[in-house]
Amino acid sequence: MKIKNIILTGSICFLTLFSCTDIEENVYDKYPAEDFYGTPEGADIALAAVYAQVPGEFTRDGASGVGYAGADNGWYDMNCMSSDEQVIPHRNTGDWQMDFARLHKHEWLPTDFIINNTWNWLYKSIFNANLAVDLLQKANADASKIAEAKTLRAFFYYLLIDDYGDVPFFTDNNITVDKIPQSSRKEVYDFIVKELTENVDLLSGTRGGNYYGRFNKWAGYTLLAKVYLNAQVYTGTPKWNEALAACNKVAEGGFTLHSGAADAANPLGSKYYELFGDVLPEDETILPIYATLDIVSRNVYAVRSLYGAHAQALFGFSGWNGTIVPKAFFLKYDANDVRRKQFLFGEQPGGFNYTLDVASLDNPGADPQAGVRNVKFYPVAPRTGGGASNDFPIFRYADVILMMAECNARLGNAAAAKPFIDQIRQRAGLSALDHNPSLDEIYNERGFELNWEGHRRQDMIRFDKFLLANEFRPASPAFRKLFPIPTSALDANRGLKQNPGY
């Protein structure tokens, strides 16, 4: 190719003792960008640079996780540790930094590493998405590929406004950081809705195959449903009918709930946990993150949770003795719920004992074996002490079903919500409700079904639960519903305004 031609020309000149005087290169495969990115292969390469930002991975320093989920110290941790479903306590043996405990206790600061790390990841992703949109539009690429790039950009902006509120907004990379204007949450929300409604029907309807891990039409409508579901939080105006309509569009994709039947071959005893293993089932999975350890992404969540020697006994490598499930969250589960099998507590084979009670998150910290552990993402091979190859579900159909239940209930039709809740409960081995569900019951069911999948903070805010006191902290002030604009971002762009309370 071009590089090979350069090498060949130089070699001939050297071998003839510089007798070569005409060194003009003849390039036979030069491809103008306008032509290249207009081809199916070129369009996919432009999109690949954007998708590469989604999987969770470690940076070269081994400390700062990037991506949506899979590694640590990034978006997943910021959103999940600040909820009631998980936390990494500082251990009284000196292990683990205080960042995670501060997130759980709602004591984070604008200077915190995870706050800044997540911000930087999202803006790098938006920059790459802007570039892909520009390249594909200039090349007159297939409309579905341009729509895919715009949907990806809308996804990243959705994550931004959900976490930070009013944010710097740009769609053209020809601008310096200090000049990017800050737009209101509603303005960016309106942009997201416009981009999605104009492009989602242009996306491919293909499920699986080459579209495993990519935004197809069904993933696009799921994203639109999530945006509408939280419209009241973002703008003050609810959009329950619109969210329900988007969910109904997803239902046209032919998705069903995956089996929850008993399976002796599964480490957790149920086919349900295939939803969190390797190559996620296409019947329910809408948008996954593909992971193969040390090749693309990783999934650290089980190994990060287990006590070191316990993981060694189970898997042959040491666990990180990190993440626990707070007692109050765990105790809400019915004893007969298939989904309760993901939690390890009490006496374990080998003499380990995970206690329900955790005396302290930070000062002096938790005992080494304090706290319920979670192996929802039971490690699949290849797996090491650095993580496993479990794929991660960004969107799955169970979430859509629960959104349909919520929208119906909020529209005053709890009777219509009941069949949706019953589907989820019965798959989990529980009986159908003998009454129409309340909003609190829908909220709880979302927690039971979607824990550790990145939805809980958003759900808690939408259901007015996020600020409530828990065993580790008193009630939080309202400004904690948003994370602060990082100090480094304010320093780089003096035109930005910090969120109230910080």
Q: Verify cis geometry, omega within 30 degrees of 0, for the bond prior to 477.
A: no
Is residue 15 one of the residues assigned to a domain? yes
Is residue 8 one of the residues assigned to a domain? yes
Is residue 6 one of the residues assigned to a domain? yes
Domain of 8?
2-30
407's tokens: 């929208």
End-to-end CA distance of the chain: 54
Is residue 235 one of the residues assigned to a domain? no
Distance CA 173, CA 169 (A): 11
Is residue 308 one of the residues assigned to a domain? no
For every one of its 502 residues, what pLDDT tens digit does the chain have, with 9 covering 90 and above? 222 222 222 332 322 222 333 434 444 455 667 789 989 899 999 999 999 999 998 875 656 788 999 999 999 999 999 999 999 999 999 999 999 999 999 999 999 999 999 999 999 999 999 999 999 999 999 999 999 999 999 999 999 999 999 999 999 999 999 999 999 999 999 999 999 999 999 999 999 999 999 999 999 999 999 999 999 999 999 999 999 999 999 999 999 999 999 999 999 999 999 999 999 999 999 999 999 999 999 999 999 999 999 999 999 999 999 999 999 999 999 999 999 999 999 999 999 999 999 999 999 999 999 999 999 999 999 999 999 999 999 999 999 999 999 999 999 999 999 999 999 999 999 999 999 999 999 999 999 999 999 999 999 999 999 999 999 999 999 999 999 999 999 999 999 999 999 9
Q: Verify cis geometry, omega within 30 degrees of 0, for the bond prior to 382.
A: yes
State the amino acid at position 420 in one-letter form: F
pLDDT of residue 59: 74
User: In what helix (H) or strand (E) does residue 2 lie, and over which residues does it extend?
Assistant: helix 2-15
How many structural domains compose the chain?
1
pLDDT of residue 64: 74
CB-based burial label for 19 (10 Å; 0-12, 13-18, 19+)? exposed
Model confidence, pTM? 0.93
pLDDT of residue 12: 26
Is residue 17 one of the residues assigned to a domain? yes
DSSP string, 272-310: GGGGGSSS--TTTEEEEEP-BTTTB--B-HHHHHS-HHH
Is residue 202 one of the residues assigned to a domain? no
State the amino acid at position 13 in one-letter form: C
Is residue 353 one of the residues assigned to a domain? no
Closest CA to 397 of 263, 285, 231: 285
pLDDT of residue 15: 28
195, 263, 268 from 271: Cα distances, Å: 37, 6, 9
pLDDT of residue 63: 64
Closest CA to 354 of 328, 381, 327: 327
